[in-house]
Amino acid sequence: MKKLLLTAFEPFAGETINPSAEAARAIEGIDFTDALVRVAELPVDRYRAVDVAIDLIRAGHPDVVIMLGEAGRRYRINPERVAINIDDFRIPDNAGNKPTDEAIIEGGPVGYFSTLPIRSITARINKAHIPAAISNSAGTYLCNRLFYSVMNFISTESLPAIAGFIHLPYLHDQVIDKDPDVPSLSRDSIVEAVRLAIEVSLGPGS
């Protein structure tokens, strides 16, 4: 039986919900054939988020790691192609950390590519009439930091797991009091997109 770790983030930047956490909670109630899916909600904390995720990987030995996060101004589900070795937070995290132009790992590789089948994931989500596109920038906030740190851990420990990050737009609930041109997707669409990403990543039979 394959094992998959799905991580999400708590709300941040004044929001009361986070689409990644909402999707992850919904995924907990879904049965995947011949696969064990573990869900974890991470703190929006520069240090603790990475520590928790790596501890979960070390303890659980997942075959697949999918990290989810919110990217509120995006119009589509965005599987990320690459993580880069830089912390440059536009806003503080929930613990007040706000690094500027700092390496995530001093002397580490410039970047890591996702090892998820991002092309197939994107195609499958679009086939379900949910907008998705590969993104070439995971930003320089905590999502990128987590993505980079997890990929670095998997690489340096020579683990057989595949891993990557998927950014999610706002939920409809989050944009009611925002500018009318702020994009969002329905909860059902986001949950279904994540479910499909899991199925594709696990491979045939899931």
What are the tens digits of pLDDT across the range 111-169? 999 999 999 999 999 999 999 999 999 999 999 999 999 999 999 999 999 999 999 99
Q: Give whole-number Cα distances, 158 to 31, 36, 109, 115, 155, in Å.
A: 29, 22, 15, 13, 5
Catalytic residue positions? Answer: 80, 143, 167
Question: Any idea where the domains of the chain sit in the sequence?
Answer: 2-202
Distance CA 42, CA 51 (A): 10
Was domain 2-202 assigned CATH 3.40.630.20?
A: yes
**Mean pLDDT (whole number) for 180-184:** 95
Beta-bridged to residue 162, according to DSSP, are 64
Confidence of residue 58 (pLDDT cuts 50, 70, 90): very high
Residue 177 has pLDDT above 60, yes or no: yes
